[in-house]
Structure 1
């Protein structure tokens, strides 16, 4: 049976929107990658009665609850106190954690404020969850059906504790019970609605569901697999790839340094860019240092002109993003045998989004060339007004 996993985010700042709750989204993603899908998420302010009521209520319905926030040294950090009262136990001083905090301050030649003593007060019977980054001690406690894990709100502390402490505990507690296999596919050029139209109307094998996550410039599609039927899994993957194959840029993770870097090692690549304002150069730098980049204002804004300019100005392998013109922005790839140019129309108003998309199109053209795939393809999110191929 699939375990019920819930998340609780605490704090008035989170509840009122003064702080964006990025922790809950990150947590859900990490758990999904482990094969567990979060069933419900709650947000509650710094009110002790509300916290007690929510902890007690959800403990009857969930197997695992991860509570984020409220473990600091100030008076409004009351998660431990509320949990103790929900469980009907007192708070006890955890001498080990008190010593750990004192040593952390001493290593910085500072005296620990008395208010930090509060962070070593844990509900009686709770199991300490180590926090190697900060002073907020995490803990785990059983109440009714649920095991509740308490974590600090500081993202760097939360992420370290989840990865090193809590996920291993969950694997020991839950084993393979309810864990799904997740296969991830990163796509470029499709809109989220267009992708949904392609995929959601299809019939998928029993035990296989789709998940989506848009993160400009790519969209991640997940196959969430709750079956051991290898034929069904292979069928689902084949069906997905048949619909989106030309837009697939990576599987499992995006790591162009590993996939493209070795192929660029001897290519003597040159880059010219105008409308992308240096974004392509920044992107290529993460893949390889073996290229020559130029940010030039005033590059041609028409496909033919950019192709002609690139033909005489560049080495055999070159990328160029021209200026934005009436027909759109031309993007060219020169190879030893031809120069391919496509002019794309940009409908995104945010300048940073425009630069990221233009750079990614150029990168995609280069990736396709290196992989011996069709270099110029249709992008749903960027209509093409012109496409030409010039001889070398």
Structure 2
């Protein structure tokens, strides 16, 4: 049976929105990638009675609860005290962690403030969870049905503790791997609603569900798999790939440096851009250093004019993004075989979004060429008003 995993975020600043709770999202995604899907998430302010009530309640319904925040040295950091009250045990000094904190301060030639000693007061019977980064140790407590893991709110500390300390404990307690596996597919050019229309109406094998995450300029599509049947998994993946076609730009991780970088070695690549405002050059610089980039104002704003300009002046492999014109923005790829240009219409008012989409469209043309795919295709999110092809 799938374990019931829940998350609790604490703190008035999180509850009121003064701080965006990025930790909960990161935790949910991390656990999903490990095969465990979070069932519920809760947010509670710095009120001990509310925390005690929630801990006691969730201890009867969850198998594992990760509590984030409230482990600092100040008076409003009350997670440990609330857990002790919920479990009906006192707080007691963990001498080992007190020594660790004192050593950390001594290594910086500083005296430890008296308030930090509070961070070594843990519920009686709890298991210490090491924090090599900061002064707030974590701890684990078993209460009724649930195991509670308490973690600090500082993201860098949380991430280190989850990776090094808590995930290994979870594998021992819940099984080496979760009951789920996740396969991730990154798509460009399709809209989330268009994808939903295509995919949600299909019949998916038992044990397979879909997940969507729009993150401009791509959409991340997940197959969440709760079966070990290899044939079922293969059927689901084949059905997905048949629907998204060549709009798939990456699997597992969105990393153009890994996929395009090796293919651009020893290529004499040149880049010209206008409407993308230097975004294309910046992006390609993270993929390869083997190129020459130019950010120019006044490039042609029509497909044919840009194609002729590139044929006359550019190297055999050139990416170009022209100026904004009445029909849109021409985006071009010139190779030894000729020049292909498509004029894309922009419907995003945000200038940064426009530049990111244009740069990605140009990179997608290059990706398609290097993969021997059709270079110019229809994009739901970037309608094409004109296409031009000139042979070399």
Question: For this structure pair, what is the TM-score category when the shorter chain's length is used for normalisation?
Answer: over 0.9
Q: How many corresponding residue pairs?
A: 392
Offset of 1:293 from its aligned partner? 0.5
- Please report the TM-score for the alignment, with normalisation by the length of structure 1: 0.98
Partner of 1:383: 383
Supply the distance in 1 between the matched residues of 2:298 and 2:89 (Cα, whole angstroms): 71
- Offset from partner CA, 1:90-144 (integer Å, 9 cap, x none): 1111111111111111111211111111111111111111111111111111000
Partner of 1:361: 361
Partner of 1:137: 137
Structure 1 unaligned residues grouped into runs of 5+: none
> Would the aligned equivalents of 1:297 and 1:323 in 2 still touch at CA under 8 Å?
yes
> Would the aligned equivalents of 2:5 and 2:39 in 1 still touch at CA under 8 Å?
yes
Offset of 1:255 from its aligned partner? 2.1
Supply the distance in 2 between the matched residues of 1:179 and 1:102 (Cα, whole angstroms): 42
Supply the distance in 1 between the matched residues of 2:192 and 2:267 (Cα, whole angstroms): 35
- Offset from partner CA, 1:319-339 (integer Å, 9 cap, x none): 001111111111000000110
Supply the distance in 2 between the matched residues of 1:22 and 1:234 (Cα, whole angstroms): 34
Partner of 1:288: 288
Offset of 1:176 from its aligned partner? 4.8
Supply the distance in 2 between the matched residues of 1:121 and 1:297 (Cα, whole angstroms): 63
Partner of 2:170: 170
Partner of 1:44: 44
1:125 aligned onto 2:159: no
> Would the aligned equivalents of 2:12 and 2:46 in 1 still touch at CA under 8 Å?
yes
Partner of 2:4: 4
Partner of 2:209: 209
- Offset from partner CA, 1:38-61 (integer Å, 9 cap, x none): 000000000000000000000100
> Would the aligned equivalents of 2:337 and 2:391 in 1 still touch at CA under 8 Å?
yes
Partner of 2:351: 351
Q: Which residues of 2 match residues 1-392 of structure 1 at below 5 A? A: 1-176=1-176, 179-392=179-392
Supply the distance in 2 between the matched residues of 1:299 and 1:286 (Cα, whole angstroms): 24
> Would the aligned equivalents of 2:199 and 2:243 in 1 still touch at CA under 8 Å?
yes
Runs of 4 or more above 4 Å deviation: none
Supply the distance in 2 between the matched residues of 1:72 and 1:350 (Cα, whole angstroms): 40
Bigger shift: 171-180 or 263-272?
A: 171-180
Supply the distance in 2 between the matched residues of 1:120 and 1:216 (Cα, whole angstroms): 44
> Would the aligned equivalents of 1:142 and 1:148 in 2 still touch at CA under 8 Å?
yes
RMSD over aligned Cα, in angstroms? 1.0
- Please report the TM-score for the alignment, with normalisation by the length of structure 2: 0.98
> Would the aligned equivalents of 2:34 and 2:177 in 1 still touch at CA under 8 Å?
no
Supply the distance in 2 between the matched residues of 1:361 and 1:71 (Cα, whole angstroms): 46
Supply the distance in 1 between the matched residues of 2:227 and 2:334 (Cα, whole angstroms): 46
- Offset from partner CA, 1:295-343 (integer Å, 9 cap, x none): 1111111111111111122110000011111111110000001100011
Offset of 1:13 from its aligned partner? 0.7
- Offset from partner CA, 1:332-361 (integer Å, 9 cap, x none): 000001100011111111111111111100
Supply the distance in 1 between the matched residues of 2:200 and 2:284 (Cα, whole angstroms): 35
- Offset from partner CA, 1:198-228 (integer Å, 9 cap, x none): 1111000011111111111111111111112
Supply the distance in 1 between the matched residues of 2:101 and 2:182 (Cα, whole angstroms): 39
Supply the distance in 1 between the matched residues of 2:294 and 2:102 (Cα, whole angstroms): 53
Structure 2 unaligned residues grouped into runs of 5+: none
> Would the aligned equivalents of 2:6 and 2:38 in 1 still touch at CA under 8 Å?
yes
> Would the aligned equivalents of 1:264 and 1:290 in 2 still touch at CA under 8 Å?
yes
Offset of 1:390 from its aligned partner? 1.1
Supply the distance in 1 between the matched residues of 2:312 and 2:125 (Cα, whole angstroms): 75
Supply the distance in 1 between the matched residues of 2:40 and 2:196 (Cα, whole angstroms): 23
Supply the distance in 1 between the matched residues of 2:336 and 2:178 (Cα, whole angstroms): 53
Supply the distance in 1 between the matched residues of 2:15 and 2:285 (Cα, whole angstroms): 40
